[in-house]
Amino acid sequence: MDTINKFSSIHTPAFILDEKEVVRNINGFKSALDSLFPQNIIGYSVKTNSLPYLLRIVKEHGCNAEVVSYHEYQLALAMGFPLERIIYNGPLKSKETFLEAIKGGAIVNIENWREIEWLKDLPKDKKYGVGIRINVNISAVSPEDEACPDDDSRFGFSYESGDLRKAINKIQQLSNVRLMGIHSHREPKTRSVKFYSRVIEYVQNIILEYGLQLDYWDLGGGFFGIMPSKPSYQEYVDAFYHTLRPELRKLCIIVEPGNAIVASGFDYVMEVIDVKEHDNKIYVCTDGTRNDVDPFFHKSNYFKEFLVNDNERSIADKIQIVSGLSCLEYDRLFELPTGSNRLQAGDRIIFHRVGAYTMTLSPLFIHCFPNVYLQKEDKYSLVRKEWSEKQLLENSIY
């Protein structure tokens, strides 16, 4: 690994990983779960950030890998997660990996009808366990948490439509398959504690009505990480415990946090490369891109910090538009109001808490994936070198 002693030598743009922060998040969530649930599992959501070095950290700190496609499933295996430590969700399973996962003891949550058909191809010599995903309409279950009217979901089987009953019947007709778990993931925009209580109330009534004898309840993800003004892991876990009927507290409780584990573990740093002035505005061009820190282009603000050279600054008499390297007109990150210090080439801007849904969602547009450094005290070592034409040409015929 290339190691650098000075922040100023970091090749920008770059992500910077603080391993300690990720471990603090894992341990925080784990001790909250351990305080009330003798059986519990953290399944780290791989899609939230699949950087291999990060997957190794989460593996070494006891998390399972929660995967939602056969690519992620194969990545988890390649990273050394044994099948018993993989949670396989989502509609993009392949039949081959689906059957292999069930046979090998992974937690597999059935998401659609074709998977129920695939179960018929399991060997008949043994009994295999599977889970099933229940459909959750946020507007119906917890209206205060809806992101829009009729905040419905494409995933899982609906209780109200009768599909859940039908799907469970089909599974129960198979003599070599046992329904051992329920999966109730839904990501509320609010990430509120109340939402999880409401989902638990809704689902446990169905479990009791159907008389299901389960081993686990997978509550999914969607939690806040450690932030002063937000609910703590313990508050979420207390709410699970107090909402669950005593007879269901014995289940193995699974959570699938992504954001809560990785968001705060990554910074992004970019550098100002040029400044122009026209149309009564100052245009600040950087070597970073909004694709890297806000790939949905939804954020209106960032946790950011300026590292400016200490030469004298004039006050800008115009707004400064800080923008990215891409040739997209809309690759603009934020504006600084009139009266701010003028930015200059060589200044750096650091974005904090950008570990979730950034690196896995950025496109290979104009610029390849940037360097990722691991920070330990004031040393920086490269854990993923920026992609180049080599990776772009791989698998192509030309």
Ligand X SMILES: *Cc1c(COP(=O)(O)O)cnc(C)c1O
The residues that touch ligand X, with contacts defined as CB under 6 A, are 45, 47-48, 66, 68, 89, 185, 187, 220-223, 256-260, 356
Those residues with Cβ within 8 angstroms of residue 363's Cβ, 6 or more apart along the chain or in another chain: 291, 295
Residue (of 311, 383, 397) closest to 17 by Cα position = 383
Work out how close the CB of 382 gets to ligand X at its nearest, in angstroms, rounded to a whole number.
26
271: helix, strand or coil: strand
Given the complex with ligand X, which of 48 and 371 has the nearer CB atom? 48
Given the complex with ligand X, which of 191 and 342 has the nearer CB atom? 191
Separation between Cα atoms, residue 398 and residue 392, nearest integer Å: 12
Q: Which DSSP state fits 367? A: S
Work out how close the CB of 257 gets to ligand X at its nearest, in angstroms, rounded to a whole number.
5
196: helix, strand or coil: helix
Q: Which two tokens stand for residue 385?
A: 């070198």
Given the complex with ligand X, which of 159 and 236 has the nearer CB atom? 236
Q: Which uninterrupted H or E stretch holds 140?
A: helix 138-141
From start to end of 93-185, where are the E strands? Answer: 107-110, 128-133, 177-183
Pairing relationship of beta strands 281-286 and 303-307 according to DSSP bridges: unpaired
Bond prior to 38 in cis (omega within 30° of 0): no
386: helix, strand or coil: coil
Given the complex with ligand X, which of 48 and 197 has the nearer CB atom? 48
Work out how close the CB of 184 gets to ligand X at its nearest, in angstroms, rounded to a whole number.
10
Given the complex with ligand X, which of 326 and 360 has the nearer CB atom? 360
Given the complex with ligand X, which of 237 and 260 has the nearer CB atom? 260
Cross-strand pairs, 179 = 130
Residue (of 339, 347, 306) closest to 320 by Cα position = 339
Work out how close the CB of 72 gets to ligand X at its nearest, in angstroms, rounded to a whole number.
10
Work out how close the CB of 358 gets to ligand X at its nearest, in angstroms, rounded to a whole number.
12
Residue (of 222, 216, 209) closest to 159 by Cα position = 209
Q: From the CB of residue 44, how many other CB atoms can be counted at a distance below 10 Å?
A: 32
Separation between Cα atoms, residue 269 and residue 356, nearest integer Å: 16
Given the complex with ligand X, which of 219 and 282 has the nearer CB atom? 219
Separation between Cα atoms, residue 284 and residue 41, nearest integer Å: 46
Given the complex with ligand X, which of 85 and 367 has the nearer CB atom? 85
